[in-house]
Amino acid sequence: MVAKRNDRANEDDYEFYRGMRFEFRANGDVFWRSPKEQNIYIQVKKGLEKIVKKLLKLRPSGGTFRITESREVLLKLQEPRKADDGNEYNQWYARFICNLENDLVFDSISGGIDNNPVGLNGGDLWTGIYDGTRLSFIRDTRGMKIWWTSSEGSLSSLRYAVKSPKMPISIERELSYWKPLGGRFCITPDGHVITLIDPKQLNERHRKQLDEMTDAQNQLVDIKEQKTRMFAVYIGKWEFEQVFEFKKPRVFGEKITETRRKELLSMLGDFSSNSNTSSSMVPEDAEPLVPLIDDFEVLEENERQFWEEE
């Protein structure tokens, strides 16, 4: 099923430019490309013919585009704009083009590449291309928090909380098993949820799977391990019936609502009712905190080039 929004029709300045990254050329060829320093191209043989014609009308010399977790095709364009001082400059903006309706077929060396596999179980090694919409999550006493970061690797990146839809409980449990502290995960255009784990988390089951993979699948595993020193595992499939709705990040200076102000006052009242509360909330015999580095920090540093604006 392709999730659609009825109010979406070639929207300019589409804020949430995300998804699996593809490169298209003036002759109509389309490729998935690994991060620049690896310089690996995998051609898309079928599934994008009609879409590429639409893209070339807007960018005849070619460029890059993305396909989101709900199969939205997004393209970046440039247009001249005028600054407050009157000077003109070229501004990039994203535009929604259409929805992907067909399955993607990738060219491959021996063994083939199946980016929409059937039969994988949660925790299996991922056999396809590790790319898609990158999201982060953390679990606390109030539940699962998920957010998307714009322009990752840049100084102007912003975090947008995912308002809806809610993550399926089966995916939430599997993801939390492999990432108990939270971290990063990825959703492909077919809705497959995947994440990266430390080699220390691998077991005999994973070694057997790796030994049985095709040459093409082994190369995809090797590409990701060389870049991140981690391995991709499958979490589950998220069937999207609606596109992501994001909550815009808070801007300092916005007035606190009366409801929120009362909540804060209520919390302070709860604490002040206990006259024996220590000035320090940390027990004297507590273990010292050890800084933890999760994979999303590694990825934000290691894949900076991959997330550059086109």
Please state the rounded mean pLDDT for residues 72-92: 84
Report the pLDDT value the prediction gives residue 22, as an integer from 0 to 100: 96
Q: Domain check: are 62 and 160 in the same one? A: no
Domain boundary among 109, 125, 152: 109
For residue 262, being part of any structural domain is answered with no
**140 and 217 both lie in a single domain:** yes
Same-domain pairing of 59 and 186: no
- Name the percent of the chain lying above pLDDT 90: 49
The answer to whether position 87 is within a domain reads yes
Q: Same structural domain for residues 140 and 207?
A: yes
Shared domain check, 185 and 301: yes
Same domain, 42 and 169: no
Decide which of 304 and 164 is more confident. 164
166 and 299 together in one domain: yes
Predicted pLDDT of residue 305: 40
Does residue 156 share a domain with residue 301?
A: yes
Only one residue has tokens 């003036």, namely 26
Bridge partners (DSSP) of residue 187 are: 133, 193
- Domain coverage including residue 68: 20-109
Residue type, 26: A
Q: Is residue 286 part of a domain?
A: no
User: For the segment 180-197, what is each residue's pLDDT rounded down to a tens digit?
Assistant: 999 999 999 999 999 999
- Residues 49 and 105 placed together within one structural domain of the fold: yes
pLDDT at residue 301, as a whole number: 45
Specify whether 169 is located in the same domain as 300. Answer: yes
Domain boundary among 44, 74, 109: 109
Residue 228, in any domain of the structure: yes
The pLDDT of residue 83: 79
- pLDDT recorded at residue 291: 41
Which one of 93, 109, 125 terminates a domain?
109
**How many independent structural domains does the chain possess?**
2
Distance of alpha carbon 216 from alpha carbon 111, whole angstroms: 6
Q: Is it the case that residue 172 has pLDDT exceeding 80?
A: yes
Cα–Cα dist 159/149, whole Å: 4
The pTM of this model reads 0.78
State yes or no: pLDDT of 121 exceeds 90.
Answer: yes
Is the pLDDT reported for residue 163 higher than 70?
yes
Question: Alpha-carbon distance 122 to 29, whole Å?
Answer: 34
Question: pLDDT higher for 10 or 150?
Answer: 150
Q: Mention every residue, 6+ apart, whose C-beta is less than 8 A from residue 14.
A: 74, 93, 94, 95, 96
Residue 61 belongs to some domain of the structure: yes
From the CB of residue 41, how many other CB atoms can be counted at a distance below 10 Å?
Answer: 12
Within a domain: residue 12?
A: no
Contact 174, 121 (CB under 8 A): no
Q: Are 151 and 92 contained in the same domain? A: no
Q: Say whether both 180 and 301 belong to one domain.
A: yes
In a domain, 58, yes or no: yes
